[in-house]
Structure formats: structure tokens, C-alpha cells
Structure 1
Amino acid sequence: MARWFPRTLAGQAFAIQAVAIVVVIAVAASLAAYDARRDGDQAARDRVVAIAVALADSPSTVAAIESGTAPARLQPVTERVRSDTDLGFITIMAPDRTRFTHTNPALIGQPFVGTIAPALAGRTFTETYTGTLGPSIRAVSPVRDGSGRIIGLVSAGITVATLADRWRGQIPIIVIVTVIALALSMGGTLLVRRRLLRQTHGLAPSELRVMYEHHDAVLHAISEGLIVVDDGVAVVVNDEARRLLTLGDGPVDRSELPEFLRDGADGTDPHDIRDEVHVTGDRVLVVNRTAIDGPRGSRSAVVTLRDRTELQGALGELDSMRVFAESLRSQAHESANRLHTVVGLVEMGRPQDAVAFATTELELSQHLVDRLTAAVGEPALVALLLGKSAQANERGVELTVTEDTQLGADDDAILSSAELITVTGNLIDNALDACDRSDPWVEVTVSQDDAGLTIRVADSGPGMDPEEFARARRRGYSTKPVADVATSGGRGLGLALVSQVVDRHGGTITAEITYGSVVAVTVPRPGSGGTRT
């Protein structure tokens, strides 16, 4: 049995549907034939009753019986009626069964064979009875005189053989309709089989089940987020993607996806993405997307997401260490130059000039350290500002920490040390990259009061228009390979990372062009009227 049963899902579905169609059509044809026979029998009963009653109620029938000339007068009439109505027989008889008329004249005068008791009781009835002409459907009706007395009976009948010939004549029509219905049904089933075979690639149900189980297991097991978008609908979203994008259970609407994943989700052609870094509300994600050409021009894409949040934090710390290392290298280089200058002045016999030169350089450097240490209570921020100052000096940029800079101790901090470094460091890096090279300068102000924290960084660059600024905050991606982005300290993510921290604390970030390009971050103090998100 298993050898002959189809292997593929399409073949099995076709076999089951074909058997079901054959059974249904066979039953329907049988019922149609049975219904045709039943309708024929009922029509025959109605006809013989109508003829029997009509002859019984005819005055000529009553007159012929009362006159004693019934055989001679009624036999021609009944034969003519029988011939016109295609009945098997019409018999008029006396109450004692003596026939007055019959299809076979030789049987006139002989007793009628059949049931007459209900008619003698005054009721017209029908029955199926085997008489001298064989099985027949007959009706018997009483003949009454003017006083209502039963003076005779009329029996009209049609043979079963005649009825069988009639309903058998409908069998060819039933067969033709059955064959047409079977052909159309099988043709439709074959089309369904062909479509199902194409959609299932000829796989058996067991193979489809194994594929589904493996597919489901893989989706739950992989550590990367996976989203499959088909014609604008996210048809597959695994557990990791829901976690990374903070999506709930159930179907995912297009509006729930981040903007960088909506490309192709609105019916447009999605394009490929390779290792793009995007920032969401609280995560840094590496995104890859591969567009797929589906059947009949459908637009599909497979998107993978890798969480880089912790790595980005480590890169930020590494970048800070790199800045400090570069600062130390720069200072060591400058110290070596100053030391050589001092040694040269001593060798020239000018010790007083050597002492004055060394003292002046030390006082300038120490003054900046002392001022920042006194104004800023966060050691990490002091180190960052010193490092960025040395970095700017090496790049030929004048970096100024304004006198308005004032930040309290750790226990009064609104942002954590890491968050403060992220915001300030990225704003300064952007300013160093964007300042005008013909007049390079950057100005930094970090202040905190009862209302909240304000970080303002200005530079001599052209600034950004509102649309560009909003795009940089929202998208925050870099098209560089991941390795290059890592070595460059995550450039391209600066404003997005700043916005991530600011939004998390319910702050605001603005950009304007006044005395220069100014980017200002304001983070309210908890309980001062601002709201955290």
C-alpha cells in the first residue's frame, strides 16, 4: 500500500481529493438516478389517480353501467383514453370484480385481480400490484350513481416495465453530466496539485515537517536577530530580534520596526546592506540585509542584527585610552623638545634663561590642570578634557575650556561617568573634525546646577541644517567595514550615541549657528520638572 501511495504532499493531496471527488460524484449520480425513478413513480401515481377519478366521475360511465351495456359502450372509450395517455390498462368493473373493460378483450367478463376493498369503502387509492400484465402501479376509484351508491369501480394502471424504460432514458443524461463533472473536478484538482507541487518543491509531508522543526529550532537557537520581510510584511521575527528591537509577541506591524528597517517594508525595492552600524533607543546594532527576488516580482529581504552595545562601550573606553596615550605621547614629545632646549641653554652658558623657559612652560601646563581639577569634580572628565586639549594642539586646533565650566562631585552627578565621557567626547570629536581649517577652534563648556546638566560644544565649522542634524541623530550609521569603524573609534555614531544617552535621561539636544556651530545638550535633574525615558 505504501509503495503505491504518492510520496509528495502534492501527490497525496491529489490522491485524497481524487478519491473524495469520485465518491461524491458516484453518490450524487446514484442519488440522481434514484430521484429520477422516484419522481417517475410519483408522477405515474398522480396520473393514474387523475384518470381513474375522471372516468369514475364521468356521467357516461354511470349511464353505461346502469343501462347494462357497459362492455359495449365503455370498452372503446377506455381503449382510446389508454392509448392517448400511454397507460398500461384501464379496467371498469362491477362491485363484484366482473370486468366491463380490459386491454385484452378476452379477459372481459372475468374477475379483476387486485385490491378493491378501499374503493368499495368509497376511497380512491393506489398500489403496486402484479396482475395479468405484470407488476404495475394502479389506482382504483369508486363509481357512484345519483344517490351516492357505489355501482362500479374504475382501475387505471401503468406497468413497472414501462416506468423503468422511461427513467432509464434519463440515465445517459445523468452519465454525461457525471462525466463532465468528474472531468472538471479532476482538471481543477490537477491544477491544484501542480500549484502545490511548485510551492512545496516536491517535498513529502515528513520532509516538510522536519524542515519546519529545524527551521523553528534554528530561529530560536541562533544568537543573531533575524527578520524576513516579504512584500512589506515582517513574516518572520525570531526571539533575538524581538529582544534587540523591544518587540512584543505576535505579528509585527511595519510601524513597529525602526526606520532603518523600513526600507523595502513599504513595498519599495530593498537594497543590500553590509555591516552598517545603527543606533536604536538603547542599543548599537550591526545590520546586514540581503534582498531576494521572489516569484512574480515580489519584494523580499532577509535582515540580520548583531548586538554591539557592550562592544561599543568597550570601544569608547578604548578610544579614551587611545586619546590619553596620544596625549602622553604628544606631551612626551614636547617634553623632550623642552628638555633639549633647556640643556642647550645651559650648555650655552645661559642658566637663567633655561630656568625661566622651564618654569614658564610648567606653569602654563599646570594652570590648565589646576583649573580643570578645581572646576570639575569628575576625574574621568578632567582626563578627557586634558587629552582632547593635547590632541587638538597636535592637530593645530585651538581648544578652549570656558570659565563657565563647573561640575560637582560624583554624588551629585546627573550622568554616570561613562555617559558623561560618551556625550562630551563625541561632541568634541565631531567639533574637531568639523571646524574650519582656515580658523580652527573649538570651545567646550560643561556646567551643572540645580536645574540640570548642560554641555555645550562650539566650533568654527559651517554647522548642519535641521534635516541633516535630525538625520545624524536618528540614523547614526557608518558605511565603513566594522573593523575600520572600530579602529576609528566608532566615527559616524557620535551624535546617535549622544542622542541615545540624552533620550534615556529625558534631555534635549539642539544645534544652532550663532558665533559658530553650536551643539548643546541639556539633561534635567531628576525631580526638577524633566522626565526620564
Structure 2
Amino acid sequence: MRLFIPLYQLGIQGRIMVVIALMSVLQIGLVGGVFLAQHAQTIENLTGGRALAIAQAVAQLPDIRDSLLKQDASRVQQLVEPIRQITQAEFIVVGDATGRRLSHPIIERIGGTMVGGDNEAALQQGKSYISKAVGTLGPSIRGKTPVFSSSGNIIGLVSVGYLQTDVDSVVFQHQFLLYGLLAGVILLAMITAVLIATHIKRAILGLEPEEITRLYQEQSATLQSVSEGILALDSNGLITQFNLAAVNTLQLPKEWLTSKLKQPVKTLCKEGDILLAMQQQGKQVKDIALVVNDQPIIVNGQPIPDGGMVFSFRCQDEMSQLAEQLSQVKQYSDTLRVQSHEYSNKLHTLAGLIQLGEHRKALALIKQETSGVQAFMSFLRNAIPDPELAAIVLGHYHRAKELGVTLLIEEDSYLEGLPATLDRMALVTILGNLVNNAFEAALQTTEVNPVIKLGVTDSGNEIIFEVEDNGTGIPDNLSHSIFEKGTSTKSQLGHGIGLYLVKQAVERLKGMITIEAASPTGTRFVVYIPK
């Protein structure tokens, strides 16, 4: 008779129970083991800290210092023994500069050399520390600290210790309850595993995973093999299944085979309301003519007992289907045709000039297009050597051209002496959001051409950014809250974040930002960042 059955031979209920139980035991065991080990380490650390604190307190006693200088072992023993009893330490040993004991719980060992080999750091380097070593009383956790004379010389050390066996006993007492708690949690996990496995077995009608897989594969093969489109809805009108024929018939992307599952039928086609109405009637539908996604189809429907519906449909006219496909191709062609680059006409002009032999005019056109950009790039390399800040300025230069905004950069702008420790990304956040805000403000006015002025300098001990626009300015009701999150002069969603980020970055860099009214209209932001 076999006592153990291979896991693959168990039913779904048995497998679920075994897997959940094993995972629960493993997880709880790992977490509990780590926690218990950490708990034990914590107790040892607390014990070592306590020993060190007692040793440091004893080392500060003037009588201990005087007795060490006088090598009065009897007096030292009288001083430390009551302290040892009160603190419940296993030993408090006071040694002189050579490591010779002046006190010990066992009086006969006074005068001998301290054992453990862990005194050098205290006697030679003057350090206070916690150590674990084996002494005359056995393995112990010790706190050691030097004793200094009034002149600062090391005249001895104090060693306070607790036996490792006593610490282990305390650890076990603390952990005994935790062991019981972990055992209870494991038992509860196993009971939960039984309940979950029973519920799952009942929910899948007693079928095994292999049987469910076979049924699913059969259903999928059946759906994909039929030439008619199949669309299944649940009681809430959500799509639960449709096949490739349905995708092809309705002219939908193939990705929708998976992406539209569990989505409302309205997202599949605008005629979804009609299909929902048929479903709500709960009656069989026979040869109903519909136009779905501009595609004439014949629809049949069969209700499901739970309130859902399965629809099958086919094209009413193959020629109509072909026409729809041609229409789709034409739409794609038109979309590609309008996506021409802004320089395509100029490239055609250049090609024509070259073919006509007008090389000078072609070069002149090229120089005309590139001279402005080259001059700006040369200025930018000299004025702002820092790559991150230069990149953000260059990006806004090109964006200004696209938006039809004039971006003027002060000729005396210069930004070179940036400390290496200064957060470049914070500077990029400040400059980028201020210019973006200026773009939006300048574009709001239709009375004058939108203009933005940008100035950057690092003279003195501060880095200064100045961004000015000729917009309509900041309304009075927003002047005190312009830097708050969500505050914006625009009503659309997604605004009210830029200036909030600017304020946060400025404060992070310990800087300051001011707002002034520009002349004759607009707003000027000035940021001061200390180097």
C-alpha cells in the first residue's frame, strides 16, 4: 500500500489543498524563521547594549578611577559587586592597564589576567564596544569600555557581561509564544486551503483542469472553424467571446479578439444598443437585417439561461464587404498623404534648383535655412556649456518656431560656473516649466504677437533665471495661490502642475522666486538659486 500519491495523480481539489498548504507552510516558515532570528539578534543586541551602558557608568565613577590608580582591588570589589547584583549582570570585572583583574564575582580569581582576548581595543585604542568571547565563566556577551584618568590616560577597563546561556534562555522564553502563534497560523492556513479547494471544485462543476482545457479548446476550435461571425454577451452586456470571422465581418482590428473581452458591446460597434435591446427581450432572434459599422449583416440570436445572448451574423453582400475594405484602404492612404514633413516642399525646391543647374541658389536656400540654427547653436554652446540646460533651451527654441512664438534670449546670458553638486534636473524642471508656462500665457493674447524673453546668468553667488511673457498677466484672484497644485488660468484638465513643480524645485535648492508685472503687459518670473 502506497502512503504517498504523486501530485499529478490527485484531483484538482487535492492539488489545490496540497499546493496552498505547502505554500502557506513555506511562507510562514520563512517569515517566521527570519522574524525569530531577528528577534534573537535584537535581544542579544539589547543585552550587549545594556552591558556596555553599565560598563560606561561604572567607568565614570570617581571612586573606581581612584582605586585603579591606587591598585586597591578590595575597594574596587566593594564598589562593583553591589552594582552587579542590582543589574543582574553575570560579572563586572575591572582591570588595570595590563589586564589584571581588580574585581571578579569569584574572589579567588581577583589578581589574575582577564581572559577572552578582546581587551586590546579598549586598552590600546580607548574604544567602547560590545564583544562575544569565552571567559572563565563560559561564553558571554560583554560590554567593554576604557577607564581614563583625569589627564586623559587609559588606566584600565571595565568589562560587564551576561552569559550566552542566560541570554539564550531569555530568547527561548520570548519565542515560545511565537512558536505557538506560528503553529496556529499554519493550521488556519491549512483549514483555509481545504475550504478554498472545496469551493473551487464546486464552482467548476466538478471538472478537472484537463477536462476544462479540452472543453475550452473544443469551443475555441468550433468558434474559429465556422464562417459566420459569433458574438457572445453576458447578462450585463459585456463581451465574453467573439471569433475571427466576426472581426473580419465587422472590419475590426484583430487585436480586438482579446482586448475587447469583458468590454461593453458599445465599444465594439455603435449599434451595440440594438444588440442589447435584442438581448433584454430574452427571445430567439431570426434573420434580422442590420448595418453594423457600416456593414450590412444578417443577425441570428440565441438567449442563454443566465441572461446572456449569443449572436451569429454573416455579410449580406460580399460586394459591400469589399467596398468597405477599399474604403478602409483609402482612409489609410489619405492619412499617410497628409503626414508630410514641413521641409518636403523645400527639398523639392532644392532638387529642382540642382536639376536646373542653379547651384548657387540651392546653396543660398540651404544657408538661409541653416544659418539661423547654426548661429543659435554657436551662441548656445558658448553661453550655456552645461548640456542639460542647453538641451532644454534648444528644445524650447524649436518649439517656439512651431507655435509661432518669438523666443528672445538675452545677449548677455551666460551660465558656466555651476557647482558640480548642484541638482541639474531641478534646474531643468525650473527653467522648462517657466518657459512652458510663458508659452501658454503668450499664446492667450491675440492683440500682439506672442513674445517670450529668457535670461540666464551665474554672476556673483547666485544663479538667476528670468522668464518674461507678453500675455495678459496673472488674475488678481490667483496671485496668492499661483504656485499651489491645481491652480491655473486654464479650465482644461491637466493644468496647474508646472508652477507647483517650479516652487518645489526652488525650495529644494534653497532658492527664491519672485513675480513681477512686465511692461506693457505680461508677467516676469525671476528665480534666484544660491551656488
TM-score (norm 2): 0.51
Q: Give the match for residue 160 of structure 2.
A: 156
Structure 1 residue 309 displacement after superposition = 6.6
SS in 1 for 2:39: helix
Letter in 2 for 1:236: Q
Residues 270, 11 of structure 1: CA spacing in aligned structure 2 closer, same or farther, 3 A cutoff?
Answer: farther
Q: Give the match for residue 81 of structure 2.
A: 79
Q: Give the match for residue 96 of structure 2.
A: 94
Residues 300, 6 of structure 1: CA spacing in aligned structure 2 closer, same or farther, 3 A cutoff?
Answer: farther
Q: Give the match for residue 412 of structure 1.
A: none
User: Aligned partners of 2:217, 2:102: CA distance in 1, in Å?
Assistant: 88
Residues 77, 285 of structure 1: CA spacing in aligned structure 2 closer, same or farther, 3 A cutoff?
Answer: same
User: Aligned partners of 1:83, 1:52: CA distance in 2, in Å?
Assistant: 14
RMSD: 2.9
Structure 2 regions of 5+ residues with no counterpart? 319-531
Q: Is the 8 A contact 1:272 1:291 kept in 2?
A: no
Letter in 2 for 1:80: P
Structure 1 residue 21 displacement after superposition = 1.8
Please give the per-residue CA displacement for 1:333-354, whole angstroms capped at 9, x wherever unaligned: xxxxxxxxxxxxxxxxxxxxxx
Q: 2:140 aligns with which of 117, 136, 139?
A: 136
Structure 1 residue 5 displacement after superposition = 3.9
Structure 1 residue 158 displacement after superposition = 0.9
Q: Is the 8 A contact 2:278 2:285 kept in 1?
A: no
Q: Give the match for residue 440 of structure 1.
A: none
User: Aligned partners of 2:131, 2:183: CA distance in 1, in Å?
Assistant: 37
Q: 2:304 aligns with which of 281, 287, 291?
A: 291
Letter in 2 for 1:288: G
Residues 56, 305 of structure 1: CA spacing in aligned structure 2 closer, same or farther, 3 A cutoff?
Answer: same
- 1:210 equivalent to 2:214? Answer yes
Residues 8, 270 of structure 1: CA spacing in aligned structure 2 closer, same or farther, 3 A cutoff?
Answer: farther
Structure 1 residue 67 displacement after superposition = 4.1
Q: Give the match for residue 42 of structure 2.
A: 39
User: Aligned partners of 2:243, 2:147: CA distance in 1, in Å?
Assistant: 90
Residues 24, 258 of structure 1: CA spacing in aligned structure 2 closer, same or farther, 3 A cutoff?
Answer: closer
Letter in 1 for 2:265: R
Q: Give the match for residue 235 of structure 1.
A: 240
Q: Is the 8 A contact 2:237 2:264 kept in 1?
A: no
Q: Which has the higher contact order (CA 8 A, sep 6+)?
A: 1
Structure 1 residue 54 displacement after superposition = 1.6
User: Aligned partners of 1:273, 1:216: CA distance in 2, in Å?
Assistant: 23
- 1:172 equivalent to 2:176? Answer yes
Structure 1 residue 286 displacement after superposition = 5.5
Structure 1 residue 167 displacement after superposition = 0.8
User: Aligned partners of 1:207, 1:307: CA distance in 2, in Å?
Assistant: 35
User: Aligned partners of 2:128, 2:272: CA distance in 1, in Å?
Assistant: 87
- 1:120 equivalent to 2:131? Answer no
Q: 2:107 aligns with which of 101, 105, 108?
A: 105
User: Aligned partners of 1:112, 1:240: CA distance in 2, in Å?
Assistant: 91
Q: Give the match for residue 63 of structure 1.
A: 66
Residues 94, 275 of structure 1: CA spacing in aligned structure 2 closer, same or farther, 3 A cutoff?
Answer: closer
Residues 91, 288 of structure 1: CA spacing in aligned structure 2 closer, same or farther, 3 A cutoff?
Answer: closer
Letter in 2 for 1:107: R
User: Aligned partners of 1:68, 1:98: CA distance in 2, in Å?
Assistant: 10
- 1:272 equivalent to 2:283? Answer yes
Structure 1 residue 200 displacement after superposition = 2.8
Q: Give the match for residue 309 of structure 2.
A: 301
Alignment of 1:320-339 (within 5 A): none
SS in 2 for 1:262: helix
Residues 179, 120 of structure 1: CA spacing in aligned structure 2 closer, same or farther, 3 A cutoff?
Answer: same
Q: Give the match for residue 265 of structure 2.
A: 254
Identical counterparts, % of pairs:
24
Please give the per-residue CA displacement for 1:179-217, whole angstroms capped at 9, x wherever unaligned: 343244444444443443233333333323222221111
TM-score (norm 1): 0.51
Structure 1 regions of 5+ residues with no counterpart? 294-298, 311-533
